[in-house]
Amino acid sequence: MIKNFDEIQQIGKENADAAMKTFGAVSKGAQAIAVEVADYSKKSFEEGTQVFEKLAGVKSVEKAIELQQAYLKDAYEGFVAKATKIGELYTDLAKEAYKPLEGYIAKVTPVK
C-alpha cells in the first residue's frame, strides 16, 4: 500500500527514469538498425549497377549466365549475412529496452 506522498513521488520518478532509459535504448537500437539497412541498400545497389555494366559488355550468352550466377550467389550470401546481423541488432534492442524495466517489473509482479 502507498503510505505517503513521498512514496508516490519516488514511484513516479522511478517510472519516468525507467521509461526514459527504455526510450533511449530503443532509439539507439533503431538508429543502428537503420544504419545497417541503409549500408546494405547502398552496397546492393552499387553491386547491381556494376553487374549490369559488366553484362552490357558481355559478348557471349555463356559469359552472361556465368556473371549472373556469380552475382546471385554473392547477393544471396550478402543478404543472409546482413539479415543475420540485423536480427542480432533487433535482439540486442529488445534486451537493452527491457533492462531498465527489469527491476520495476520484479517490484510490481506479485510472488506466488
Residue 103 lies in a domain: no
Number of domains forming the structure of the chain: 1
Residue 92 lies in a domain: yes
Residue 107 lies in a domain: no
Spell out the residues 6+ positions from residue 40 whose beta carbon is closer than 8 angstroms to its own: 78, 79, 82
Spell out the residues 6+ positions from residue 101 whose beta carbon is closer than 8 angstroms to its own: 18, 22
pTM of the model: 0.73
Residue 106 lies in a domain: no
Closest CA to 86 of 37, 23, 45: 37
In tens, the pLDDT along 19-31 reads 888 888 899 999 9
Residue 5 lies in a domain: no
Q: Which three cell numbers stand for residue 41?
A: 541498400
% of the chain residues with pLDDT over 90: 60
Q: Which domain does 93 fall in, by range?
A: 11-97
Scan for cell 512514496, then name that residue: 7
CA-to-CA distance for 87 and 85, rounded, in angstroms? 5
Residue 112 lies in a domain: no
